Structure 1
Amino acid sequence: MRRLGIDVGGTFTDVVLLDDQSGEVWSTKVPTTPSDPAVGALNGLRTILEISGSQADAVGFVGHGTTIATNMIIEGKGARTGLITTRGFRDILEIRRAWRHDRADLYDLFFEAPPQLVPRYLRREVDERIRYDGAVERELDEAGLDACLDDLKAEGVEAIAVCLINSPVNDAHERAALEHIRRRINDAFVTGSIEVNPEIMEYERTCTTVVNAILGPRCGQYATTFTRNAREVGVRGDIYFMQSNGGLTPPEAVSERPVTLLESGPAGGVTATARLCERIGVSNAITGDMGGTSFDVSLIREHKPEIRNTTEIRSYTVRCPNIDIISIGAGGGSIAWIDEGGGVRIGPESAGADPGPACYGRGGTRPTVTDCNLVLGYVDPGSFLGGDFALDTEAAETAIRTHLAEPLGVSIEEAALTVRHVANALMAQAVRLVTVERGYDPRDFVYIPFGGAGPVHAVDLARELEIPTVVLPPMPGVFSAFGMLVADMVHDFQTSIVQNVDDVDLDMLNARIAELEEDAYRRMDQAGISRDLVTIERRADCQYLGQGETMQVAVPEGTIDAATVGEIAENFIVDHRRHWNFDITGRPVRIVNLRVRVVGRIGQFATVKPKPKNGGATRPVGRARIRLGADWADIPRYRREDLQAGERIEGPFVVEELSTRIVGYRGDALDVRDDGTITVTVGEA
C-alpha cells in the first residue's frame, strides 16, 4: 500500500508519497491555487503519481492538511450565519471578554475591532432559561423558536448557530431546539454549542459555535470536493483531514465540526516532529516551520506537542483543542518594507503564491525574505525545487533596490542582509514567547526546522538563542505533508463540572469520566480501529477559586478517589507556580472541566536512511558564494542524498536537497545519523 500526504500552504502545496513495503518516499511541490485550493491539491496528487510511476488505486491512505478554514475567517468569506440564543443574551458576541493583560493590542490606541461574526440583525432571542445549577426556570418556547427560524430564513442565512445559556450544565433545551430546527430546515447548516464546545464561559462557547457555523457549508463542500476529485482520479483508500489537535479525522467529521481545522496546516509538521523525537530519543524540542507566509513555532516536551484549548484568530476567541503554535508574518514570501521612522519591517503582508516573490517572475515587484536570501546566496537560483523552478536574481535585485536600498541609501546586499537580520530577530522573539516567557530555557532544547525556508535560517536562529543543536529532519521542505502520514486518528471530548477539590463528588466525577471514555471508544469503533490500537488520555482544567483562566493537568488512570484528587490539585499548584512564578496559599483549587483524548494508531513513520559509509569522505558537488556578515565567502556545497551515515563535515558548509538547504559556518559541525536525520552542532558566534 502507498500512503499520500498533502499539505496546502500559502505559496506551495506539498505532497509526499510513501510505499509501506519498500520504504521508498517521493515528494514534490506545486503552486497553491488560492482561488480554489482543491485544484492545487489535485495537481499535486497527479504530479506525485506521475513522478513515482504509481497507479492511483495503489494509494490506500490519504492525509490532507489545509488552511481553508483559517483563510475563511481571516478573509471574512464564510457562510451567512444566524445566531439563536437565550433572551437577554443577544449581544454577547459584541460585549466579548474583557481585555486581558496578554493581548498584543492592549495598548494600541488605533486598534479597530474586527467586524462581528454575526451582525446584530441576524441574532435572534428565544424565551427559555436554565439556571446556573441546571434547574429549569423557564421552558423552551417552540412557537418563539419557529418565529426566529422564519426571520432567519427570510434573511437568507446559510448556517444557524444555537447557543443557549447554561446548556453545559443542562443541555435539554438546546438539544430540543436543535432537533426542532433540523426537522424544519434541511437547506442550512445547523450546529449547537453542546456539539462543539460544551463548556462554561459563555462568550467563548458562543464564539466557537458561531465560527463552526460560518465554516460549515464551505468546509463541508471542500471536503466533499477533494474526496470526489481523489476518487475520480482513481484513489480508493481512506481519506482523512488533519485537525488542529494534530490528529486525523474523516471527511464526514469535517462537515460536522470544521472548527477543528483552524490550525490544520501547521499541525502536520509539529505532529511529524513529535513522532521523530520519539524515534531518535530527543525529549524536548523547539519546532520552527518557515513556509511562504509565516513562521510557526511550537514546543515538544517529553515527545509530545503542547496542547492548548483556546486560540485566537483575527481577535475571535475559539475554544477547541489545538497544538500550541505561535505564528508570525515572517515567511519566505513575507514582504519587507520601511516604516515611517526609517526602520526595516517584515510582514505580515505576504506575496503568497500569486504573484509570489519578485524572483518568481510572476509579476511580483516588492521585495520578500526569499528575494533577499537569493541575493545573499542562501538560496540558489539554479537548484531551487531541484532546478524545476528557475529564479530571477535580477528581478529580486530590482525589487530590493527600488523599495529598500535606495530609500535607505545603502547597497542592495546591505539592504538584503538587514532584512535577513530582522527576520532572524523576529523568529528569535517568537521562540522566546513559547520558551522564556513560559519558564523554559531554549538552551535546554534542540531546534528542529522545517518548511522550505526553515533550514535556511536555522543555524543563525540557534546561535542567536544559544541553542546548541539543530536537528534537520528528513525531507524538511515538505515535512508538514510528511506529518499527514505519521499522524493518528485523534478525537477530544470534554464536559464541565465546576467543583472544589476539597468537597468534590467522586461518584459524579467518575461517572462523567466514564461517559466521555465510552463516547471516545464508540468513535474509534465506528472508524473500525481495533481497541488494541486505542489509547485514552485524561486531563482536567483546574484553577484557583476566583480565577478566570484554567490550566490543564493529567488525570491518572483508574477510579478517581480522594488521593487521586489530591494529586491532581498538587500537580496544578506545581504547574501554576512554574508558569506564573507564584501560587495562592490557602486558596481552594477547583476542577472546571474534564477532558478525554482518544488516539487510534493509524500513522506510520518512514525512515529515510542515508547512504552507508564507504570509507571515503563525500566530495562537494561545487561551491556556493554566500554573504557572511560583511564579506562574501565560497563555501563547499553538498547534496544531502550523497552524505554517508556516520560522516562528519566541519563548517563552513552548504547542504542542499530538493526543496531547501542548510548553511553552517566556521566552528559548526554537521553529523549524518543512521536514522536519516542530520545534526548540526552550533559553534560559538
Structure 2
Amino acid sequence: MRRVSVDIGGTFTDCSLVWDDAYVEAKALTTHQNLALGFNASLKIAYEQLGLSLEEVMREVDSVRYATTLGTNALIERRGPRVGLLVTAGFEAMVPLSRGRGYGEGLPDRLRRDLPMAQRPEPLVPVQMIVGIRERVAETGEILMPVDAEDVRARVRELVDNGVQAFVVSLVNAVVQPEHELLIEEIIRDEFPEHLLGSAPIILSHQVGGRKGEYARTSSAIIDAFLHNAMYHGLSTLELNLRDNGYQKPMLVIHNSGGMAQLNSTDALQTIHSGPVAGINASEHLAAETDLGNVVCTDMGGTSFDIGLVVKGGVKFYDFNPVIGRWLVNIPMVHLVTLGAGGGSVARYDRLRRTVVVGPESAGSDPGPACYNRGGRNPTVTDSDLVLGYLLADRYAGGTIPLNERRALRALEKEVGEPMSVDAVEAAKLIREKVDNDMANGIAQELRVRGYEPRHFTLLAYGGNGALHACGIANVLGVTRVMVPPFSAIFSAIGAGNMDQLHFHERSLYLSLYDSNTRALFDDFPRFNALVEELEAKGREDLLRQGVPADAIRHRLELDMRYGNQLAQTAVVSAKNRLESADDLMEVLTTFSKDYGRRYGEGSQAPEAGIRVNTLRVATYSSMSTLKFKGVLPEEADLAAAPAPSSSRDCQFVGQSAPLTTAFYDLADLSFGAVIEAPAIVISPSTTYLVEPGWRLRIGRYGAALFVKV
C-alpha cells in the first residue's frame, strides 16, 4: 500500500505518507492564501524522511486523499456568488422566516436565550433574489398544478436582471416527485446557455438532500450553491497541482458523511468539517482493532477541539439536521461537536465576570501565538504551556518553529496577569485550568445528553495538543484511562487514509414497524425491500461512474428509529439489507431496543408507544486496504521500567503551589512497553506527552501510548 492523505487545519497542514510497511507523518503551517503550498511543504517533509523524490511518490502512490477546510473558510468569510432561489409560489418567505428559529441556530446556549439581542445571520440569498414559481405537487407525488414554462422564463429573467450567479431550485415535495425541478433546470439551460451566463451552477434541492423538510432541504441547496465556486476552483487547483507534479489518478475528497469520493462526485456541502470526521473514522477503526470498547474521540489542534463518539455495538451517530455555520441543513453528517479551544486559542481577561476566558478566537498560523515570534501579541494556550515549562523552545514542531518565551511572558503579564494581579506563571496556570475545564465540560455534556457516563468511555486524545492536555481533561471528567493513538498529531490525516469510497442515499417515510394500537408488526416486506433496492441502485451508479468494479460494491442499511413520537432518534445498522420474515424484523427491533436501553437505562424502552422508522438510509461503499494497528498497545507482560531521562527541569502544574522536578524523555529513546512515572514529559517531533502527577504512561508503537490513573 502506497498512499498520501492530507488534512488541512486552521493552523497546520498534516500529511500521512504510507509507503509499503513505512508510515511517515509530517506537519507544515497552513498557507491560507494557497492551500497547495502547505500541502506541498508537508508532503516534502514526509517523502524526504524516506529518501524519496516527489516524482517517485506521485508516480507510484495508489491514491491521494484530501480533507479540506476550503468550504468552511468560504462560508465564514462569505466568499460566494450571488445566489438566486426559485421556490413554489407562496413559499417565498420560507427561507427568511427560517422556521422562526433562525436567530439562534449555530449560536451557544447563552446567546440563543438572549432574545432581546437576537440577530438573524446575514442571509446568503437576499429577499429580492427569491422568486415564486406557479406549480404544486402533493405529498404523495401527484402533480396538482403543472409548471408554466413562460412563468419560469419570466422569473429567471428577473433573477438574471438582478445579477444572479448561481441558481437554486427548491420546490415543495420535490423529494417525492422531482419532475418539476428537473424541468425548471432544463428551461434555465435553454433560456440562458453557458455561453451567455458563463458557468452559473444550477443546484436542485432533491439532488442535495433526500429527506422531507422544506426549509432544511432548501438551506442545504443554498449553501451548496454558495460554496460551489470556491470548492470547484480551489479543489481543481489542488488537483492541477498534483497533475503538474506527475500524479495522474483522480484526487479523492473526504466527505463529512464518513466516506470519500472523486472530485466529480463531490458536492461542496459534503466537504464541510471533513477533517474532524476523518479523525472519528480513524478512531472507529482503531477501537475495533484494539478492542477499546466505547470511545470518546477528542481532537485538540491549534484552532479547535472536536468531540465525537464511537460506541461498541454498531450504533452510528449522525446529525440528522446538522447546523452548518448559522443554517440548518439535512444532509447525513457524522455527529461532531466543535469547541473553540486549541493551542492557538486566545486568552483574555473578562472584566464583567472577573475571570479568564479562553477562545473561541484563535491566533491561527499567521501571526500565531505570541511565542511564535511572528507578530502575535495575544496570549494563547501554547504560550501558557511554554511558560509552565512543558515545551522546549528549540524542539517545538521538530525544531521547525523556534519559540520565544520572553514574548509569551510579556503577553501573559499584560493581557491576563496585570488585570488579575498575578504573575505570568499564575496567569498561565489559570489559562490551562480554564481550557481543560472547558474541554472536559464539553465532553461531559455531549455524553450525558446521549445517555452515557464518561467513566464508561476511554478518552482518545489526538491532534497536535491532545497528549499535552489529556491528563488535565481526564482529571476533570473522572476518566481513568486515556489512549493517545498512533501518529496522534496527524490522526485525522490517518483517518483520511483509511476511508472507503462511500455515498449515502436516503428516503424520508412514515413506516410503523410496530403499531401499538392494533398490536401488529409490519409485514409489507416487498414494499420495504423495493425502497431499499431503489436507494442501492443510486449508490451503485455513483461508484460505477467512478470506476469501481461492480463486484467490489457493498451496501449497508441504516434505519432512523424512534418510539412513537419521541424526539430521541437512533440510527440503527441492520444486520441484513432485506427483510424477508418476522424474524428479520424482530432482529432489527431487538437491536434498537438494546441500544436504547444502554443509552437511556434498561427499562426505559417504550414499545407501547409504537416503533417507527422516519428515514431509510443506504450506505454504498467499496472497501479499501487499511492501516493495521493491532498490537500497538503493550500488554502487562510487555511493561518495563523506562531508561534514565535525557534531562530534567522544574515545571509548574495546576493544583501545585511549588514547581516539581520533571523528567524529560525523547520518544525515540523509549522502547515498546516502557513505563513513565509522573511528573514527566515525552517529546516527539510532532507532539508532547505530559504525564501529570497521579498518572502513569505506557509507551506503545508508532507513538501510541496509554495514560493510566495511579
1:659 paired to 2:681: no
1:593 aligned onto 2:615: yes
* 1:241-283 Cα shifts (integer Å, max 9, x gaps): 11112211111122xx111111112112221121112221212
Q: Retained in 2: the 8 A contact 1:16–1:478?
A: yes
Q: CA deviation at 1:445?
A: 1.2
Aligned counterpart, 1:167: 174
Matches of 2:537 and 2:487, distance apart in 1: 39
Measure, in 1, the Cα distance between the counterparts of 2:270 and 2:386: 37
**What is aligned with 2:294?**
284
Identify the residue that residue 324 of structure 1 maps to in structure 2.
335
Whether 2:20 is the aligned partner of 1:10: answer no
The SS at the match of 2:537 is helix
Retained in 2: the 8 A contact 1:306–1:324? yes
Q: In structure 2, what is the Cα distance between the partners aligned to 1:517 and 1:295?
A: 36
Q: How does 1:611-650 map to 2 (within 5 A)?
A: 617-628=642-653, 629-650=656-677
Match of 1:147 among 147, 154, 157: 154
Q: CA deviation at 1:591?
A: 2.3
Aligned residue number for residue 239 of structure 1: 251
Counterpart-to-counterpart distance in 2, 1:166 and 1:674: 54
1:620 match: secondary structure = coil
Q: Corresponding residue for 2:558?
A: 539
| Contact 2:668/2:684, CA 8 A, preserved across alignment | yes
Q: Please name the residue that 2:518 is paired with.
A: none
The residue that corresponds to 1:269 in the other structure is 279
Q: Is the Cα–Cα contact under 8 Å of residues 541 and 594 in structure 1 kept in the other structure? A: yes
What's the TM-score, normalizing by structure 1?
Answer: 0.93
Q: Determine helix, strand or coil for the equivalent of 1:631.
A: coil
| Cα drift, residue 210 of structure 1 | 0.8
Structure 1 stretch displaced more, 73-82 or 415-424 = 73-82
- Following the alignment from structure 1 to structure 2, what is the Cα–Cα distance between the partners of residues 108 and 37? 38
Which residue matches 2:695? 668
Structure 1 residue identity aligned to 2:135: E
Greater CA drift, 630-639 or 643-652: 643-652
Secondary structure of the residue aligned to 1:681 is: strand
* Counterpart residue number, 2:409: 397
What is the letter of the counterpart of residue 66 of structure 1?
T
CA distance 1:583–1:475, change in 2 (3 Å): closer
Preserved CA contact (<8 Å) 1:59 1:236: no
For 1:274 and 1:614, the matched residues in 2 are separated by 26
The answer on whether the counterparts of 1:500 and 1:590 sit within 8 Å (CA) in structure 2 is: yes
How many angstroms does 1:320 deviate by?
1.6
Amino acid corresponding to residue 661 of structure 1 in structure 2: T
Is the contact between residue 607 and residue 676 of structure 1 (CA under 8 Å) also seen in structure 2?
A: no
Distance apart, 1:42 and its partner CA:
3.1
User: Match for 2:673: what amino acid?
Assistant: G
Over 3 Å counting, the alpha-carbon distance change for 1:242 and 1:150 in structure 2 is: same
User: Once the 2 structures are TM-superposed, how far is the Cα of residue 360 of structure 1 from its aligned partner?
Assistant: 0.6
State yes or no: 1:553 paired with 2:572.
Answer: yes
Give the aligned residue type for 1:60: D
Q: Give me the whole-angstrom Cα distance separating, in 1, the residues matched to 2:271 and 2:206.
A: 18
Among 431, 435, 442, the alignment partner of 1:423 is: 435
Aligned to 2:268: 258
Q: Distance in 2 between matches of 1:157 and 1:504?
A: 50
Per the alignment, do residues 390 and 676 of structure 1 end up closer, same or farther by CA in structure 2, a change over 3 Å counting?
Answer: closer
Q: Unpaired segments of 5 or more residues in structure 2? A: 516-521
Cα displacement (A) at 1:286: 1.1
Gaps in structure 1 of 5+ consecutive residues: none
Q: Is 1:335 matched with 2:354?
A: no
When structure 1 is superposed on structure 2, of 541-550 and 336-345 the one drifting more is: 541-550
Shift of the alpha carbon at 1:73? Answer: 1.6
Shift of 1:352: 0.9
TM-superposed CA distance for 1:338, in Å, is 1.5
Aligned to 1:38: 36
Amino acid at match of 2:285: R
Distance 2:70 2:34 in 1: 9
Using the alignment, how far apart are the partners of 1:44 and 1:673 within structure 2?
A: 25
1:293 matched residue in structure 2: 303
Tell me what 1:378 maps to: 390
Q: What is the count of residue pairs matched by the alignment?
A: 679
- Aligned partner letter, 1:79: P
Q: Please give the alpha-carbon distance, in whole angstroms, between the structure 1 residues aligned to 2:278 and 2:313.
A: 15
2:449 is aligned, of 423, 434, 437, to 437
Residue among 92, 106, 109 paired with 2:112:
106
Which residue in the other structure is 2:376 paired with?
364
Asked if the contact 2:289–2:630 (Cα under 8 Å) also holds between the matched residues in 1, the reply is no
Identify the range of structure 1 (335-344 vs 567-576) with the bigger mean alpha-carbon deviation: 567-576
Q: 1:185 to 1:547 in 2, by over 3 A?
A: farther
Tell me the amino acid that sits aligned with residue 144 of structure 1: D
2:95 matched residue in structure 1: 93
Kept in 2, the 8 Å contact 1:516–1:596? The answer is yes
**Cα drift, residue 546 of structure 1:** 4.9
Q: CA separation of 1:681/1:533 partners in 2, compared to 1, >3 Å: closer, same or farther? A: farther
Pair 152,580 (structure 1): closer, same or farther in 2 beyond 3 Å: farther
Q: Deviations over 1:136-166 (max 9, x none)?
A: 1100111111122212222222211111001
CA gap of 1:25–1:500, structure 2 versus 1, over 3 A, is closer
Aligned equivalent of 2:527: 508
Question: Relative to structure 1, is the Cα distance of residues 505 and 247 closer, same or farther in structure 2, using a 3 angstrom cutoff?
Answer: same
Distance 1:574 1:148, change over 3 A: farther
Residue 308 of structure 1 pairs with residue 319 of structure 2:
yes
TM-score, scaled to structure 2? 0.90
Aligned AA (1:368): T
Give how far 1:75 is off: 2.2
**Equivalent residue letter for 2:609:** R
CA RMSD of aligned residues (A): 2.6
Q: Provide the C-alpha distance between the structure 1 equivalents of 2:633 and 2:495, rounded to a whole number of angstroms.
A: 24
- Matched with 1:485 is 497
1:682 to 2:709 alignment? yes
Amino acid at match of 2:87: T
Once the two structures are superposed, residues 376-420 of structure 1 have per-residue CA deviations (whole angstroms, 9 ceiling, x without a partner) of 112221210111210111111111111000011011100110000
Cα contact 1:624–1:634 (8 A) shared by 2: yes
Letter aligned with residue 31 of structure 1: L
Residues in 1 aligned to 2:249 and 2:227: alpha-carbon distance in whole angstroms? 26
Counterparts in 2 of 1:644 and 1:237: CA distance versus 1, 3 Å: farther
SS at match of 2:320: strand
Shift of 1:58: 2.8
User: Structure 1 counterpart of 2:509, which letter?
Assistant: I
Would the aligned equivalents of 1:16 and 1:48 in 2 still touch at CA under 8 Å? yes
Q: CA offset at residue 610 of structure 1?
A: 8.3
What code does the residue aligned with 1:320 have? I
Equivalent AA in structure 2 for residue 511 of structure 1: A
| Contact 1:79–1:218 under 8 Å retained in 2 | no
Judge which range, 77-86 or 46-55, deviates more. 46-55
Q: Distance in 1 between matches of 2:589 and 2:570?
A: 11
Query: Aligned AA for 2:85?
Result: L
Match of 1:138 among 145, 148, 165: 145
Residue aligned with 2:251, SS: strand
Matched AA of 2:391: V
